[in-house]
Amino acid sequence: MSETVGVSLLGAGNIGAGVIAALSAGASRYAARVGRPIEVRRVLVRDTARVRAGLAPHQIVGRLEDVLGDPGTQIVIEIMGGEHPAREAIEAALRSGRHVVTANKEVMAKAGGELLQIAADHGVRLLYEASVGGGIPVIGPLSRDLLANEVSAITAIINGTTNYMLTAMTQQGADYADVLAEAQRLGYAEPDPTADVEGIDAAYKIAVLCGLAFNVEIRPDEVARQGITSITARDIAYAERLGYVIKLLASARLISGAVAATVQPTLVGANEPLAKVDGVLNAVQFEGDLVGRVLFEGPGAGPGPTSSSILADVLDVAQDVVTGRRPLAFVPRRRLRVALPAEHEARYYLRIAVQDQPGVLARIAAVLGEQQISIASVIQFDRATADGTAELVFTTHQASGGALQTAVAAIRAMDVVREVGNVLPMAG
Ligand code: NAP
Ligand code: HSE
């Protein structure tokens, strides 16, 4: 019997360096908890010549075979990121009988069901706590603590970059472009921020959560997605005057046999707990039939928080290695119909620039009325501009997405309408 539990890493970048440092700092505690020391065996990187803190040259390798050919490796931690070759590496590790811990939301969103089935077929575990919400426990609670519940809804802020940017726009009254430049300067936003600001990262994460919460397979490209690039300082200011803040919410719920999943900038009531989740923090709220509403909040990224989740999975599976415990059988996921945005229902905020002349408001109200959309409020916050443009802000009662799409198309075509600005859902 081996004297240690052997762990190898695929990747030693931002997160990998944090994992290596934490494994070293917590070595005696982890050994006591698992019953054997955790030993770092091999670390796969692209640049094998670079000196890496906490690693000896013989531990650094450049080929996956050097990891999988090591008989002392029982657990593989995948933290290289991206879809390929991470997906193939995870699959090869599982097929070779290794347990795998991953932080990779893209792979878990696109191929999670398939990989979990491969893990079950090979009697090993695939754990992915760090793939959603960084250091916040969400996968663990969904897999265990909330298991007795019928989860009906997930509402989450699961992208720290966009939450930082929207918070800065709210607190400083700054415009999108200025805030993005500042976020890039501080290292919160990537040089290419597309995955974050277009909601792609959040779509991966909500797809992963749907798999666990509803046992439903949903592809990330089936998530109705709108990023934050069109949000202006004016939208933020109008929301504030209405008693709301704008957050990029990732949401999912089951509606009459279909799953509706969205990533959208949303007006959240200023007194709602999610409205107070600011900066780079993340939060995930579940609604269950037994527990009611529970909210998990904390740091959604960074080496410390992400290592916390990765190492929790490593310690959990290391205990299996020591005790010989077998993993539970994986229950294959259902394929449910994905609800179209037209089937979603919400209250809505509409910002519309019009010619400042009598009768315009009545004509827009009539279009909304024809679609059975009930207006909750209409406000012209500021005076018309010198060129005679007035900006109207409508809020509606609960309305169908399809009716709203039809009404917005008709409003956009009106001769007195200069621009239909943002149309955003409202929550709380
Ligand atoms: P990173 O800094 O870019 O590090 C990637 C590491 O993987 C590097 O060590 C790189 O090697 C290695 N690598 C990449 N492609 C490789 C290949 N084809 N062959 C061999 N090695 C390869 O990424 P990160 O920020 O640590 O993120 C890692 C994972 O954690 C991603 O899935 C990410 O989504 C997830 N995650 C990150 C955060 C966060 O806060 N950053 C939070 C939660 C989850 P070199 O060092 O030689 O370039
Ligand atoms: N780019 C992500 C975010 C962190 O901004 O939340 C990694 O999941």
Q: What is the pLDDT of residue 1?
A: 61
Q: How far apart are CA 166 and CA 279, in angstroms?
A: 8
Ligand 2: residues with CB < 6 A are: 159-161, 196, 201, 300-301
> CB count, 10 Å around CB of 347?
17
Which numeric CATH code is attached to 5-134+303-323? 3.40.50.720
Beta bridge partners of 215: none
3-state SS class at 78: strand
Task: Give the global pTM.
Answer: 0.97
Q: Which of 340, 166, 182 is nearest to 266 (CA)?
A: 166
Ligand number nearest CA of 250 is 2
Q: What is the pLDDT of residue 295?
A: 98
Residue type for position 74: Q
Q: Which atom of ligand 2 is nearest to 202's Cα?
A: 6
Per-residue confidence of the chain (428 residues) as pLDDT tens digits? Answer: 679 999 999 999 999 999 999 999 999 999 999 999 999 999 999 999 999 999 999 999 999 999 999 999 999 999 999 999 999 999 999 999 999 999 999 999 999 999 999 999 999 999 999 999 999 999 999 999 999 999 999 999 999 999 999 999 999 999 999 999 999 999 889 999 999 999 999 999 999 999 999 999 999 999 999 999 999 999 999 999 999 999 999 999 998 889 999 999 999 999 999 999 999 999 999 999 999 999 999 999 999 999 999 999 999 999 999 999 888 888 889 999 999 999 999 999 999 999 999 999 999 999 999 999 999 999 998 888 999 999 999 999 999 999 999 999 999 999 999 999 999 999 97
Q: Which fold has domain 141-299?
A: Dihydrodipicolinate Reductase; domain 2 (3.30.360)
Residues of the chain within CATH 3.30.360.10 domain(s) are 141-299
Residues of the chain within CATH 3.30.70.260 domain(s) are 341-427
Beta bridge partners of 253: 153, 260
Taking the centre of ligand 1 as the mean of its atom positions, its distance from the CA of residue 79, in whole angstroms, is 5
Ligand 1: residues with CB < 6 A are: 11-16, 44-47, 79-81, 85, 103-105, 130, 134, 301-302, 306
Q: How far apart are CA 113 and CA 333, in angstroms?
A: 7
Task: For ligand 2, atom 7, name the residue with the nearest CA.
Answer: 301
Taking the centre of ligand 2 as the mean of its atom positions, its distance from the CA of residue 385, in whole angstroms, is 40
Q: How far apart are CA 177 and CA 174, in angstroms?
A: 8
Q: What is the pLDDT of residue 428?
A: 78
Q: Which of 147, 134, 125 is nearest to 319 (CA)?
A: 125
Residues of the chain within CATH 3.40.50.720 domain(s) are 5-134+303-323
Q: Which fold has domain 341-427?
A: Alpha-Beta Plaits (3.30.70)
**165 near 176, Cβ under 8 Å?**
yes
Give the catalytic positions in this structure. 205
Taking the centre of ligand 2 as the mean of its atom positions, its distance from the CA of residue 300, in whole angstroms, is 7
